[in-house]
Amino acid sequence: MATPYARRRTTHLLHTMNPTPATAPGADTIISVRGLSKTYASGFQALKRVDLDIRRGEIFALLGPNGAGKTTLISIICGMVNASEGTVTADGFDTVRDYRAARSAIGLVPQELHTDAFETVWATVSFSRGLFGKAPDPAYIEKVLKDLSLWDKKDTKIMALSGGMKRRVLIAKALSHEPKILFLDEPSAGVDVELRHEMWRMVRALREAGTTIILTTHYIEEAEDMADRIGVISQGELIVVEEKDVLMRKLGKKQLTLTLQQPMQQLPEALGRWPLSLTADGHALTYTFDTQQEDTGIAALLRALNEHGIDFKDLHSSESSLEDIFVSLVHQPNARRQDDTQKALA
Ligand SMILES: Nc1ncnc2c1ncn2[C@@H]1O[C@H](COP(=O)(O)OP(=O)(O)OP(=O)(O)O)[C@@H](O)[C@H]1O
């Protein structure tokens, strides 16, 4: 949901003229979240003691189903929603005590463009820069617009742009004050494949230039394609934070599919101890195994099939995608899931 962006907090703008960075939690940590909880006025607890460090220069994907707490978390980091408990520092600045300094390190690309319909692209992006107290820099704005293929639209009113162009304006606005950190909230929602790929190219280029990128998404393929690390949030709890490759390797399962010479009606009882399943048409057997195990059991399985006279004409293995991992994580009750995940990642 998109609600929190509408609220702008002004209370902290006044006493932040000469902010001093809080002690950095680690040289390569650009955002540090500690013990963050949020209970909305309705009494609903949207975040439950979240701890998270974002590393300088990484692409971090925050994955979670609808209502998991992604928008709440980034809205607190960006200073648009107050936390009930806990602290956040961005680029070394406390997001409450040194709101202005912390906020100016951050660019936020929200899901939708709410205002500026009658302004030109140039005016709206330049105005955004001014909001952060930065001196005008037409050369920089020109570069941003050119990088985003918006230069030839600079004098066009926002209302006359296509959906994809409006998206790019949102990104240009977020980059207008040269932030070190860029948040992209659901960047692919309602975006066609071409624009999605264009956006990914741009995100990678920004990372190459040193910007730290945090994106929230429901689309696992987005995280799989783009992220260096992944955090999975579910029901307000951050249940996993891991390098993408490690997450896929450690929680991943592989499947071995054997195409049978002769279709089977049912699995022989003698093979009952194996985690096997037979396809509905009886033409293939699937064996699921854990990539973590030293002994996958494949050799013994093939011997057992041989002993029972089950011949196959083809076999292939496939790895579980991040999607499979994600679905299995978020569909377990939280307590058991955290326990299982910790064991798997140990
Ligand atoms: N202002 C609010 N008052 C009460 N509850 C809220 C408010 N804003 C969000 N919530 C609730 O907090 C929970 C987390 O919402 P949030 O928008 O952070 O989730 P999300 O992971 O971003 O979801 P989505 O993927 O649907 O955007 C949801 O149950 C939502 O209904």
Specify the DSSP class assigned to residue 23: P
Is pLDDT larger for residue 247 or for residue 104? 104
Q: Which residues pair with 8 in a beta bridge?
A: none
Task: Check residue 168 and give its pLDDT.
Answer: 87
Residue 130 CA to residue 134 CA, distance in Å, equals 5
Atom from ligand 1 closest to the CA of residue 233: 21
Q: What is the helix (H) or strand (E) element at residue 217, kind and residue range?
A: strand 212-217
Instruction: Name the residue with the closest Cα to ligand 1, atom 12.
Output: 46
Is pLDDT larger for residue 158 or for residue 188? 158
Distance from Cα 105 to the centre of ligand 1, integer Å: 25
58 Cβ contact list (under 8 Å, min separation 6): 207, 212, 213, 228, 229
Residue 44 CB less than 6 A away from ligand 1: yes
Q: Is the Cβ–Cβ distance between 108 and 175 less than 8 Å?
A: no
Q: Which residues pair with 80 in a beta bridge?
A: none
Task: Check residue 148 and give its pLDDT.
Answer: 85
Task: Check residue 75 and give its pLDDT.
Answer: 93
pLDDT tens for 220-229 read 777 888 899 9
* pLDDT of residue 328 exceeding 70: no
Please name the amino acid found at residue 296: T
Please name the amino acid found at residue 139: A
Is pLDDT larger for residue 338 or for residue 121? 121
Task: Check residue 24 and give its pLDDT.
Answer: 44
Domains and CATH numbers, the chain: 3-248 (3.40.50.300), 253-319 (3.30.70.1560)
Residue 127 CB less than 6 A away from ligand 1: no
Exposure b/e, 39-71, CB count within 10 A at least 16 = b: eeeeeeebbbebebbbbbbbbbbbbbeeebbbb
Range 52-59 average pLDDT:
96
Residue 187 CB less than 6 A away from ligand 1: no
Strand order in the sheet with 284-290: 276-278, 284-290, 253-260, 312-319
Task: Check residue 7 and give its pLDDT.
Answer: 34
Is pLDDT larger for residue 227 or for residue 332? 227
Residue 38 CB less than 6 A away from ligand 1: no
Range with the largest mean pLDDT of 40-49, 233-242, 247-256, 274-283: 40-49
Residue 43 CB less than 6 A away from ligand 1: no
Task: Check residue 88 and give its pLDDT.
Answer: 97
Residue 89 CA to residue 234 CA, distance in Å, equals 23
Is pLDDT larger for residue 97 or for residue 321? 97
pLDDT tens for 13-36 read 223 333 444 444 555 999 999 999
Residue 130 CA to residue 79 CA, distance in Å, equals 18
Handedness of CA 317, 318, 324, 325 (dihedral sign): positive
Residue 249 CA to residue 320 CA, distance in Å, equals 9
pLDDT class of 254 with cuts at 50, 70, 90: confident
pLDDT tens for 98-135 read 999 999 999 999 877 666 788 999 999 999 999 888 89
Residue 69 CB less than 6 A away from ligand 1: yes
Least confident of 3-7, 50-54, 126-130: 3-7
pLDDT tens for 136-150 read 999 999 999 998 889
| Secondary structure of 129-175 in HEC code, one letter for each residue | HHHCCCCCCHHHHHHHHHHCCCHHHCCCEHHHCCHHHHHHHHHHHHH
Residue 305 CA to residue 261 CA, distance in Å, equals 12
Task: Check residue 336 and give its pLDDT.
Answer: 53
pLDDT tens for 160-172 read 998 888 888 999 9
Looking at every residue in the chain, the average pLDDT score rounds to 82
Range 212-232 average pLDDT:
86
Residue 74 CB less than 6 A away from ligand 1: no
Exposure b/e, 196-217, CB count within 10 A at least 16 = b: bebbbebbeebbeeebbbbbbb
Burial environment of residue 231 by CB neighbours within 10 A (0 to 12, 13 to 18, 19 or more): buried
* pLDDT of residue 189 exceeding 90: no
Nearest to 257, CA basis, from 318, 305, 299: 318
Distance from Cα 77 to the centre of ligand 1, integer Å: 15
